[in-house]
Amino acid sequence: MANEVLEQRIRDRTAAVGVIGLGYVGLPLIKAFVEAGFKTIGFDVDQTKVDRLLAGQSYIEHIPSAWIAECVSRGNFLPTADMRRLPEADAVLICVPTPLNESRDPDLQFIVATAESIAATLRRGQLVVLESTTYPGTTRDVVLPILARSGLRVGEDYFLAFSPEREDPGNPKFSARNIPKVVGGVDPVSGRLASLLYEAAVVRVVPVGTCEVAEACKILENTYRSVNIAMVNELKMLFDRLGIDIWEVIEAAKTKPFGFQPFYPGPGLGGHCIPIDPFYLSWLARKHGLTTRFIELAGEINTAMPQYVIRRLIDALNEQGKPLRGSKVCVLGVAYKKDVDDPRESPSFVLMELLLAGGAVLSYSDPHVPQLPAMRRHHLPAMRSAALTPEFLASLDCALIATDHTAFDYEAIVRHAPLVIDTRNATRNVVEGRSKIRKA
């Protein structure tokens, strides 16, 4: 039987693992399966990415180029843009983007296109796993009907499951291999085979009863974070008005050994998941005639944070008798979190658009993002990262810390820049020149 053959191939590590989408989720997943002894095939529609990988070059900071080059040369990793090679993989893992459209509804075009590519070549004995974060019901209601066009029967001829990605770029403690994997199948056989596959590559598998439970699990994780971040963002605005330092409040509160988990304010939400996933849940609720007022309010607060930061910046410039128009402002950090090169959904892009709209003379500096990337939802001029020399900092009217990279020399930034707007409490240990710092 097809499931028995696949199970044996997984157990003896002769199964080929294909990953569709070689970005911040797909490439670390490839690494986990290679290190577990599997041959891997990486699929991506971007031929430029494929060519770089074939040349042994990584475009993700925490995946070393030397490792890519070694795996490609040994044949453990085959990058390709040719979807006709999908039948070569015994397991096909889907790691494609799931953005929102202009009305902030789910945009499943990449999942649909990928499912159609798989359906066109689906063969008996293959396992398909969706990893892209999405709303509960996507695997069964969207992917399954497309794969059914192949004429094969799920649970008998081929197998289908959902296992949400849990990548945390830049976190040295957790990689794809040592983060527990939640797995849910559209049927018990599919769930068992998917669990068996991931058990070979990750520290722990958490099987759940259905793919819908696995989908809802990821939405819950990120909605939980979004709501709590919104709460501290709202408290930050209140405490600023009261002259209370929110950062000091959080440090005091987190000394409680139970009942409190610290969350931190910022200039807005970034990353592919937290700014997007709660809106999937809100959309699904509306579809079923319900409202998610708590979630939507959190989204409104977090989305409004860039405007709050710019208002604080304008107030600080006004104190010095300077308008925003014509002022030289450098945004420090365009990655969405510290010490990574991932710009997805970074609030820095919104900050930059607002600054340009207000007439600021804009620049940016980010040691992890040397050139401003083109973004789907943002339209900014081409720029390169500025070196934070004493002369450059002194020429500014304001330095805006949007991402608290470790590589930034905050003492030098405060020493030489005439005004520093700090949205991340990055200057907390700076002693000299504190009168120039404004929290935002």
* 172 vs 387: CA distance, rounded Å: 26
3-class state of residue 361 by DSSP = strand
Strands 181-185 and 39-43: unpaired
What does the radius of gyration of the chain's CA atoms come to, in whole angstroms? 24
Nearest residue to 273 (alpha-carbon basis) of 325, 362, 342: 342
343: left (phi > 0), else alpha (psi -120 to 50), else beta? Answer: alpha
CA dihedral 59, 62, 63, 66 (to 10 degrees): 90
166 Cα distance to chain centroid: 9
d(CA 239, CA 325): 29
3-state SS, one letter per residue, for 252-297: HHCCCCCCCCCCCCCCCCCCCCCCCHHHHHHHHHHHCCCCCHHHHH
Question: Which of the 8 DSSP states describes residue 185?
Answer: E
End-to-end CA separation in angstroms for the chain: 62
- Report, as residue numbers or ranges, the catalytic residues: 273
CA atoms within 13 A on the CB side of 385: 16
Amino acid at 14: T
